[in-house]
Amino acid sequence: MEIETPAALAGDELRRLLAATISPDKAAVDAAAAGLDRAAADPRFPLAILAVAAGDGDQGVRVAAATYLKNFIRRNMESSLSSSQLYKEFRDQLAQTLLQVEPAILRVLIEAFRQVVEKDFVKDNLWPELIPQLKLVIQSSNLISPGQHPEWNTINALKVLQSAVRPFQYFLNPKVAKEPVPQQLEQIAAEILVPLQVTFHHFADKVLLSPDATKLEYEQLLLITCKCMYFTIRSYMPSRVKQILPSFCKDMYRILHSLDFNSLPEDGAMMRLKIAKRCLIIFCALVTRHRKHADDQMPHIVNCAIKISKQSINLSGLDSLPNRIFSLAFDVISRVLETGPGWRLVSPHFSSLLDSAIFPALALNEKDIAEWEEDTDEYLQKNLPSELDEISGWTEDLFTARKSAINLLGVIALSKGPPVASAASKRKKGDKSKGKSERSSIGELLVIPFLSKFPIPSHGEDASSRAVRNYFGVLMAYGGLQDFLTENKELTVTLIRNRILPLYSMDPCSPYLISTANWVIGQLAMCLPEAMNTSVYHSLMKALTMEDMEDITCYPVCASASGAIAELIENSYAPPDWLILLQAVVKRISTGDENESALLFKLLGTIVEGGQEKVLPHIPEIVSNIANTVMQLLPPVPDPWPQVVEQGFTSLVAMAQAWESSAPDENRKHEKRVWHSGQSSIARTFSLLLQRAWLLPVEHMENSCSSLPPPSCVNDASVLLEFVMRSVTCMEETARMKVFELVPIWADTIANWDSWEEMEDQGVFNTIKEAINFHQRFDLTGFFLKMLPSQSENGSQSSVIGRVSNFVTRAIAAYPSATWRACSCIHTLLHAPNFSLGTEDARKAIAVSFAQAAFSHFKSISESPAGIWKPLLLAISSCYICYPDAIEQVLNNYDGNGYTIWASALAQVSSSSFTEGS
């Protein structure tokens, strides 16, 4: 493939630079990147690098060229790649190249082309010749017209079509109520998709009727065509597509009917499965978006989906792609059932769907058992989600057959059956309601009776038992009937009492059934009666403390019990005895593994928040127990803390906040003394924990370039330090709690913190204010202003106030909430510390740093008035009050007119007429 380019750019030098970009040597990579950036200034650079990607030679270098070109286009697309004439030449050459390159290069270049086509063809509509030329190429390509243009690859050409139609999967102007079909999409439909339907039918015949080993390319053609059709009709419905829809659907039915999951798919069946998946996605879009055009196809769509779904008994032996196909088949039925003709089409199949499709997808299978042992988190996420999506025919992205089957079951249960005359109206001849009828739900008429056929397993049956596997499916079904059961509370009570709670008294309990039963109770939290309170919590606490059984882990049992208890508390279904629940959780935390403890720390926070005054008397003791557990879990060296430690800190913060919010009034002297005693006890515990976490033994730091503690839990640890400082009442306590040792380490840690987007930093800012307050009350020697050696890598000296100020300075430009919080600290940091004559220069340096950061950020957002102007301008004012000459110089050094800009903006925000965005 020859592309004419300047010799200087098309020669060996460009290839050498590209080869260096994939070198393991970082210096070589950086030098090559700089060289390519310089070469990119040449107007013909895009053509030159495209020539390398399209030419012969090392494929790694060619992929590097394609990748650089893709990124180059992304950076420069909106401005200009080159002159108009050169750009059109490049655009045409890129399209030509795509028709001929091999898949490895095509995958990268097609992403570059997508950016071009979205701007030029879709957004600006400035490429009128694209579709006529693409039509000619497709018709003359190697698979469709063998011999005409063998260099034009049909698959590549269809990939180009896919890129052209892809942007139309979403409405271009979603705020327009009835947006017409874009002219470009109508053109694609008329000139390419209509004739392509005949091609699709022809190749569907080849794939379905002949065992030709070369059919992979034909299947690729079918798959890409299906994707193009999906992108076309996902939002819009071009007029010409309406004409070919029946024919296109017939071929999709044939493809779907060819699927057989009674045996494992063959190695070469993957492409067929991908086509089937796309066909079902198209059916979902037709039912959801284009019912009036798809009504006559509904019976066939339903038949296809039901035929597939009734093979769900084979799910356990299938991989993720077949599972997704079953999921989509269930989703199609759910969507049809939500439409006008849906009841008439689907209701005759309700019984067979329940028996042969839905229930087999819910029952326990070998894959579930393997996943339980190999990846418990994945098992929980797939099978016992903390929140089920709302049951609806329009629910999207369920992805697993089980979730989609649960959703379909819920839709069926909520649908109303045929009118049934009420018994009362039959008995009372004179009743005015005579002749009226009631419509019972299918849940009452069919679903609950069907599930009742499966008995509770006998004692001692294991997971290999058919009874256990079926009852697992029954429990999954109950969890999916949440909406239906919420409307039938008496039925719910009966099910809980007779079909769920008895499982907990089995000996031994089946962990697979108990974990699912826990989940069901959590799902039905809103409709549990108070009368069952003791039985429900007793059962869940038994599950919470269940030990592993021989070679079966019970982590999912503990996790689901924890989730269920949290759901009950959040729905105001309180335990009969908060203390017993607290003791059970705390004991399990101290004896369970780290994964369980991390979960239970979360539950503990929920209990503290939900129990309020019922748990407050127990908080000091619980804090002591939890802190001891966390200290044991802390790594001995300054590695990042494990998740369980972070969750432990979070639960301690919840307890600290609950305790502080419970402070009694001053006139309640006895209660106040008790509260202060608890406050002191908690503060001592927090101090010991922070000492263990931060004041690391020197021997552990010998081989470390930094002796700072790991940047873990900075916000939560700050809250604990704030609690300690607020609790101190005398100098003896400051020494006993080592406040003057802890604060410098904390200040050093936040001074080096830069993960602003990863943390909720309110606790840090609150602790800054409390530290200043502590400084004013107890720092009699000015320790916070003394220069101390930093524990960071550079080892430089700085004061506590300087470190805190460094954090605040960087926070100013971090993100809006941090800006507000940082600016609120500036006045305090400038005026509250006891600056002496010897430290006045430090105060001035801090003020200058604050003013520079605030004005720089203000300038970056100054194009239109915004609410965030106020804190920035007022922060500069605080600095100016302290050092007017120095701050005026800072502003003018940044911008020659900086002082005037600040003063003018300050006057503007002070005006009563100031509004954001005005």
Dihedral class, residue 848 (left if φ above 0, else alpha if ψ from -120 to 50, else beta): alpha
In angstroms, the Cα distances linking 749 to 111, 720, 752, 790, 812 are 43, 15, 5, 10, 18
Q: What is the mean pLDDT of residues 103-120?
A: 95
pLDDT tens string 129-147: 999 999 999 999 999 998 8
341 has pLDDT over 60: yes
Residue 147's identity, in one-letter code, is G
DSSP 145-184: STTT-TTS-HHHHHHHHHHHHGGGGS-SSTTSTTPPPPHH
Predicted pLDDT at 427: 43
Report whether 444 contacts 488 (CB < 8 A): yes
- Identify the band that residue 429 occupies on the pLDDT scale cut at 50, 70 and 90: very low
* % of the chain beyond a pLDDT of 70: 90
Of 513-527, 675-689, 903-917, the range with the lowest mean pLDDT is 903-917
- Identify the band that residue 244 occupies on the pLDDT scale cut at 50, 70 and 90: very high
Most confident range, picked from 69-83, 371-385, 419-433, 860-874 = 371-385
Cis check: omega of the bond before 341, within 30 degrees of 0: no
Predicted pLDDT at 508: 83
678 has pLDDT over 60: yes
Predicted pLDDT at 163: 97
- Identify the band that residue 436 occupies on the pLDDT scale cut at 50, 70 and 90: very low
Q: What is the mean pLDDT of residues 381-408?
A: 75
Predicted pLDDT at 214: 55
Predicted pLDDT at 840: 80
Torsion over CA: 906, 912, 915, 918 (sign): negative
**pTM (predicted TM-score):** 0.84
304: its two tokens: 């296809």
pLDDT tens string 542-585: 999 998 888 889 999 999 999 999 999 999 999 999 999 999 99
- Identify the band that residue 2 occupies on the pLDDT scale cut at 50, 70 and 90: very low
Q: What is the mean pLDDT of residues 772-787?
A: 88
Predicted pLDDT at 651: 95
Of 100-104, 378-382, 608-612, 696-700, the range with the lowest mean pLDDT is 696-700
Predicted pLDDT at 205: 93
- Identify the band that residue 393 occupies on the pLDDT scale cut at 50, 70 and 90: low
Predicted pLDDT at 211: 64
- Identify the band that residue 267 occupies on the pLDDT scale cut at 50, 70 and 90: low
718 has pLDDT over 70: yes
Q: What is the mean pLDDT of residues 261-278?
A: 84
- Identify the band that residue 81 occupies on the pLDDT scale cut at 50, 70 and 90: low
Q: Give the closest residue to 612 by CA, choosing from 578, 573, 648, 567.
A: 578
Predicted pLDDT at 838: 65
Predicted pLDDT at 106: 96
430 has pLDDT over 90: no
**Distance in angstroms (rounded) separating the CA atoms of residues 264 and 611:** 53
Predicted pLDDT at 150: 86
Predicted pLDDT at 706: 57
Q: How many CB atoms lie within 10 A of CB 126?
A: 10
Counting other chains too, the contacts that 56-64 makes at CB distance below 8 Å and 24 or more residues apart are 57/15, 58/19, 59/104, 59/105, 60/19, 60/22, 61/15, 61/18, 61/19, 61/22, 62/105, 63/104, 63/105, 63/108, 64/18, 64/19, 64/21, 64/22
**Distance in angstroms (rounded) separating the CA atoms of residues 730 and 737:** 11
Of 152-156, 446-450, 895-899, the range with the lowest mean pLDDT is 895-899
The ranges assigned to domains in the chain are: 1-127, 686-796, 812-918
Of 5-14, 215-224, 821-830, the range with the lowest mean pLDDT is 5-14
pLDDT tens string 860-883: 888 776 788 899 999 999 999 999
Q: Which residue has the higher pLDDT, 596 or 793?
A: 596
pLDDT tens string 411-421: 999 998 665 54
Q: What is the mean pLDDT of residues 315-338?
A: 93
434 has pLDDT over 50: no
Predicted pLDDT at 246: 96
Q: What is the mean pLDDT of residues 672-700?
A: 87
Which residue's structure tokens are 């050094």?
893
Predicted pLDDT at 296: 92
Q: What is the mean pLDDT of residues 730-759?
A: 86
Predicted pLDDT at 43: 86
Predicted pLDDT at 557: 95
Of 64-73, 260-269, 374-383, the range with the lowest mean pLDDT is 260-269
Mean pLDDT of the chain: 88
Torsion over CA: 561, 563, 566, 572 (sign): negative
424 has pLDDT over 50: no
64: its two tokens: 């590097």
* % of the chain beyond a pLDDT of 90: 63
Predicted pLDDT at 213: 53
702 has pLDDT over 90: no
Predicted pLDDT at 700: 58
3-state secondary structure of 394: coil
Predicted pLDDT at 73: 92
